[in-house]
């Protein structure tokens, strides 16, 4: 079985794929919950919000509200949009603090201009690249989404999308439509040399160009944001990418420990042995 045939967006449209059984996983599977919260934490970090000031954020593809939980923990107010009633039902059962709206991002964001201080989206944007119905045109749906999102953001706000693009063509389609809608920015790639830990974040600026943040586990691949959407230096080959997993590497361990300290957890002090590989015993 090829890796492509395992992609959820190739299985069924999102409102069908995310049924009650799939939705339940998002409230009961501890591994899934941990991954969602880590990616949400990173997305919020990339939003670069003002400190000690609650913001009103949009969560696109909010699902069962796991990313929203993190936004609430950080003291922000949020509104979530999702196409799956089953996922939103789980969010309601969990009594999340944000407001929830049932909607298809490809139909656009129905909000007043300048409503939100920022937008995050975890693992949702690539669904718009699929033509699930004959009438669907991925470029048009992407443009409708980005142009209405641009309008609904306050000037100078950011939108951060953690995405799983299928290939470089899909990535270019997404970024081209974002640029056409008025955004600037580009890709931030965390752990680019790792197959497992690698994560792609599309970091978009609305109205004011900013400097692209550095990707974790690497020196930044882009030095700043021009008036075009930038790519991650090299066109990524998503298949057959080789490279040691950065997970369990020194940078990954230090970053995880720092994150836990920020959450107020007890963490062992760093020493010269932190993250050092042990010699195999014979």
Q: Which domains does the chain have, with CATH numbers?
A: 3-247 (3.40.50.150)
d(CA 190, CA 4): 22
* Sheet bearing 56-60, strands edge to edge: 99-102, 77-82, 56-60, 116-122, 153-163, 199-205, 184-190, 229-230
130-166, pLDDT tens digit by residue?
Answer: 765 666 788 999 999 999 999 999 999 999 999 988 8
d(CA 155, CA 104): 24
d(CA 104, CA 202): 20
Q: What is the pLDDT along the chain (282 residues), one digit of tens a residue?
A: 344 445 544 444 444 444 566 656 656 667 777 888 899 999 999 999 988 889 999 999 998 898 999 999 999 999 999 998 888 988 999 899 999 999 999 999 999 999 999 999 998 898 888 765 666 788 999 999 999 999 999 999 999 999 988 888 889 999 999 999 999 999 999 988 888 888 999 999 998 777 788 888 764 444 333 333 444 333 333 333 333 344 456 776 777 677 667 666 677 777 766 666 655 554
The residues, any chain, with a CB within 8 Å of residue 246's CB and separated by 6 or more, are 191, 193, 194, 197, 198, 217, 252
């Amino acid at each position: 079985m090829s890796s492509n045939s395992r992609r959820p967006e190739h299985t069924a449209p999102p409102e069908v794929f995310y049924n009650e059984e799939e939705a339940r996983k998002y409230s009961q599977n501890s591994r899934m919950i941990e991954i969602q919260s880590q990616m949400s934490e990173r997305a919020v970090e990339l939003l670069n919000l003002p400190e000690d000031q609650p913001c009103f954020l949009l969560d696109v593809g909010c699902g069962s509200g796991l990313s929203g939980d993190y936004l609430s923990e950080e003291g922000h107010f949020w509104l979530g949009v999702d196409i799956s009633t089953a996922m939103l039902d789980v969010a309601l059962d969990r009594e999340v603090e944000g407001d929830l709206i049932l909607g298809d991002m490809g139909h656009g964001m129905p909000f007043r201009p300048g409503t939100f201080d920022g937008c995050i989206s975890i693992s949702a944007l690539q669904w718009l690249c699929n033509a699930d119905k004959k009438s669907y045109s991925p470029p048009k749906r992407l443009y409708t989404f980005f142009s209405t999102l641009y309008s609904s953001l306050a000037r100078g706000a950011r939108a951060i999308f953690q995405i799983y693009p299928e290939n470089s063509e899909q990535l270019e389609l997404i970024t081209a439509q974002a640029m056409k809608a008025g955004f600037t920015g580009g890709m931030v790639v965390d752990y680019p040399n790792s197959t497992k830990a690698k994560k792609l974040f599309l970091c978009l600026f609305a109205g004011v160009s900013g400097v692209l943040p550095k990707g974790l586990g690497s020196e930044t691949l882009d030095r700043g944001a021009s008036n075009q959407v930038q790519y991650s230096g090299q066109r990524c080959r998503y298949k057959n990418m080789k490279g040691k997993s950065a997970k369990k590497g020194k940078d990954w361990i230090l970053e995880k420990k720092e994150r836990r300290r920020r959450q107020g957890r007890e963490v062992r002090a760093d020493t010269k042995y932190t993250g050092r590989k042990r010699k195999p015993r014979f």
